[in-house]
A = this chain, B = another copy of it.
């Protein structure tokens, strides 16, 4: 994500292994979930990477556990999760974690530490 909010805030760490099956709408659904999350209260951003081996990590950031719980109850998000289990994922792990420290470094800007 572009901004660097000052902790504390929350991270949802979603690690997943894709099935070897064809895309089956996965890419569209993933894009849609990012767009939908963007509209939710307390949403702070998302980062996502998937390697050629099919292992992916998506980390979304939220203001509070209540915001995460509300996103979890979103009806369209529920449907996407069902498709994940029926079609797209071999296995996944989900962790909810409270971000206590955060800093960023960039070649052009050096270190940025909102808590310093």
Contacts and interface: CB of A to CB of B under 8 A. Distances in A.
Contact of A99 (B7, B48, B97, B101): B97
A100 to B, nearest CB: 6
A70 interface: no
Contacts of A95: 7, 11, 99, 101-102
Q: Per DSSP, are chain A's interface residues mostly helix, strand or loop, or mixed?
A: strand
Interface string A46-63: 011111100111010000
Interface of A: 4, 7, 11, 13, 15, 19, 47-52, 55-57, 59, 65, 85, 89-107
**Lowest 10 A-B CB distances belong to which pairs?**
A97-B97, A91-B106, A96-B101, A57-B57, A49-B49, A95-B102, A93-B104, A97-B99, A49-B51, A49-B57
How many identical subunits does the complex contain? 2
A57 B55 contact: no
Contacts of A96: 99-102
18 contacts: A15-B59, A48-B57, A49-B50, A49-B56, A65-B100, A85-B105, A89-B107, A90-B107, A91-B106, A92-B104, A93-B103, A93-B104, A93-B105, A94-B103, A95-B102, A96-B100, A96-B101, A97-B97
